[in-house]
Amino acid sequence: MCAAVQPFAGCLPIGHGPSGTVLVADIDPNRLHEAWQAADALVPVIGRRPVMVTDDFDNTLRIRPEPEPGPSESELRAFAEAAESSEPWLAYRHYSEDDEVDEGEVEYYARGMASVDLDLTALVSDGALPTPRQALERALYDRLLADADLYARVLGRVRFVTQTDYWYTPDSVLLMLLPTSDVPSSGYWVDFFGALTREYQRTLAEVLAQWRHRWDARLVASWGTMLQFQVGCRPAPGDEAWTAAGQLKALAPNLDLSRWEVAVAFPAGDAWFVHNRP
């Protein structure tokens, strides 16, 4: 295994990690995406899916002198099968999904969480209030889609959320090589605040599988309360971006942008950021 990972690990410390994983320590935090890409390219060779992790918040995440057993083949197969039968978008719902917007709140939601320096209130059709927040945001998004100049101006304020510069960078980075090349099975090892139970781990695993299939979204890093994805197939403006933005917001309740803002940003970048904290 050490010989197989030498092309990207170089002289870095390599050893046994928790639950059948392999750890490569001392990854340069400023080059973590580049290191992950090198490891991801080797998945067909080494049969292990890479994910960046950190020991900044977990001092048990360290190289071990002896291998630590991981799940059995049958256990991992049962995990993946249970993941496939889960309903992630029933389990993951944004806390504001059912909110109603009153008359005095329309301007706040139309301004956006990124404080877009535009008066978009006039774009929202007059109608009966209160109104469902999701309906209001979709109406606003549709109006932007119909005005290319205004859409471009808004995009300039929100596109940062789909750039790697927006990603969190810990002080200490390790590369964890999971003992599987299977995407849903990899969810067994993902440490995420939004998946603290085995049931939610299986649900998250199905999210990983769906996003990989639809958007070629590959998990780059798992920092406990944050997940970072490289996306190979950007959602198109309109229904695709709107649906993907809703899913991201459901998984990332602490992402400080409205759904319509995320939908505007999604077609313009290849990096997704999930934030879910206490």
Domain of residue 17: give its range: 2-90+166-231
Q: Stretch 73-83: mean pLDDT, rounded?
A: 97
pLDDT at 4 over 60: no
- CA–CA distances in Å: residue 13 to residues 17, 69, 238, 252: 12, 20, 46, 33
Percent residues over pLDDT 70 in the chain? 91
Q: Give a yes or no: residue 157 inside a domain.
A: no
pLDDT of amino acid 114: 64
Q: Output 107 or 234, whichever has higher pLDDT.
A: 234
The pLDDT tens digits of the residues spanning 19-52 come to 999 999 999 999 999 999 999 999 999 999 999 9
Beta pairing partners, 192: 224
Q: How far apart are CA 217 and CA 234, in angstroms?
A: 9
The pLDDT tens digits of the residues spanning 94-129 come to 888 888 888 778 777 777 776 665 566 665 666 667
If one counts the domains in the chain, the total is 1
Biggest alpha carbon distance in the chain? 67
Q: Give a yes or no: residue 110 inside a domain.
A: no
Q: Give a yes or no: residue 28 inside a domain.
A: yes
pLDDT of amino acid 60: 82
Q: Give a yes or no: residue 218 inside a domain.
A: yes
Nearest to 158 by CA among 111, 212, 227: 111
Average pLDDT, the chain: 91
Q: Give a yes or no: residue 136 inside a domain.
A: no
Q: How far apart are CA 71 and CA 77, in angstroms?
A: 10
Q: Is the pTM of this model over 0.75?
A: yes
Q: Output 57 or 252, whichever has higher pLDDT.
A: 252
Q: Give a yes or no: residue 126 inside a domain.
A: no
pLDDT at 7 over 60: no
Q: Give a yes or no: residue 120 inside a domain.
A: no
Q: How far apart are CA 91 and CA 111, in angstroms?
A: 29
Highest mean pLDDT among 102-111, 132-141, 178-187: 178-187
The pLDDT tens digits of the residues spanning 194-230 come to 999 999 999 999 999 999 999 999 999 999 999 999 9
CA 102 to chain centre: 31
3-state secondary structure 54-97: CCCCCCCCCCECCCCCCCCHHHHHHHHHHHHCCCHHHHCCCCCC
Q: Are 4 and 46 in contact (CB under 8 A)?
A: yes
pLDDT of amino acid 140: 87
Q: Give a yes or no: residue 195 inside a domain.
A: yes
Percent residues over pLDDT 90 in the chain? 74
Q: Stretch 69-86: mean pLDDT, rounded?
A: 97
- 3-class state of residue 271 by DSSP: strand
pLDDT of amino acid 42: 95
pLDDT at 6 over 60: no
Q: How far apart are CA 84 and CA 223, in angstroms?
A: 24
